[in-house]
């Protein structure tokens, strides 16, 4: 589960987690503009010392623009995973990401879930981030990873 395009460092990290064992990825992407409210994002930016980003939170795409950018980010991520030699498929999600995640886990009989996002300190502190909530819902181990760099 991701919220933006995977960077090359992210792809290398997730594709080498299990050594030479063959892995297939089923990627769910929910654009950041649809998942969290602006205030929480701004607080996260301030906690990270990124004051310029906090000021620009109002510029984060939402609605149709976020979906279009999200589709491109998903395509870039799937292409990068496939180029790294992994099997990869995925879809964009608009609503209820954890319900979608639970359905996907059951559908593909996933062994684990990887949640790869930027840090969201407020949500993580209150255990309202995707990984914390997924641990109580999906029935498989959930690995929380932070994106290596800005995409």
Q: Which domain holds residue 86?
A: 8-46+61-146
If one counts every other C-beta atom within 10 angstroms of the C-beta of residue 85, the result is 9
Check: pTM over 0.95? Answer yes or no: no
Residue 151 lies in a domain: no
Helices (H), 5-146: 8-15, 32-35, 38-47, 51-55, 63-83, 97-108, 121-125, 130-135
The pLDDT score that the predictor gives to residue 78 is: 96
For 141, counting Cβ atoms within 10 Å of its Cβ (0-12 exposed, 13-18 middle, 19+ buried), the class is: exposed
Backbone angles phi, psi at 127, to 5 degrees: 55, 40
Residue 94 lies in a domain: yes
Residue 52 lies in a domain: no
Give the total number of structural domains in the chain: 1
The pLDDT score that the predictor gives to residue 34 is: 43
Residue whose pair of structure tokens reads 């050594």 in the numeric block:
19
Domain with 89 in it: what CATH number?
3.40.50.620
* CA separation, residue 25 to residues 52, 105, 112, 115, 123 (Å): 34, 11, 10, 12, 26
Residues of the chain with pLDDT under 70: 32-67, 120-128, 149-151
**What ranges make up the beta strands (E) of 14-93?**
24-29, 87-92
The pLDDT score that the predictor gives to residue 31 is: 76
Residue 124 lies in a domain: yes
pLDDT single digits (tens) 12-39 = 999 999 998 889 999 999 876 544 555 5
| H or E element, residue 64 | helix 63-83
- Of the candidates 104, 132, 105, 96, the one whose C-alpha atom is nearest the C-alpha of residue 117 is 132
């Amino acid at each position: 589960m991701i919220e933006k395009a995977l960077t090359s460092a992210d792809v290398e990290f997730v594709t080498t987690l299990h050594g030479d064992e063959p892995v297939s990825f089923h990627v769910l992407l929910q654009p950041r503009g649809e998942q969290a409210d602006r205030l929480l994002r701004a607080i996260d930016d301030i906690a990270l010392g990124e004051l310029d980003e906090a000021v620009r939170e109002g510029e984060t795409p939402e609605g149709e623009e976020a979906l279009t950018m999200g589709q491109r980010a998903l395509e870039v991520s799937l292409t990068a995973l496939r180029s790294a030699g992994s099997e990869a498929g995925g879809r964009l999600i608009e609503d209820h990401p954890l319900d979608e995640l639970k359905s996907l886990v059951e559908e593909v009989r996933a062994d684990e879930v990887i949640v790869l996002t930027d840090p969201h300190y407020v949500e993580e502190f209150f255990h309202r981030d995707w990984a914390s909530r997924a641990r109580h819902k999906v029935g498989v181990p959930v690995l929380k990873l932070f994106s290596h760099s800005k995409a």
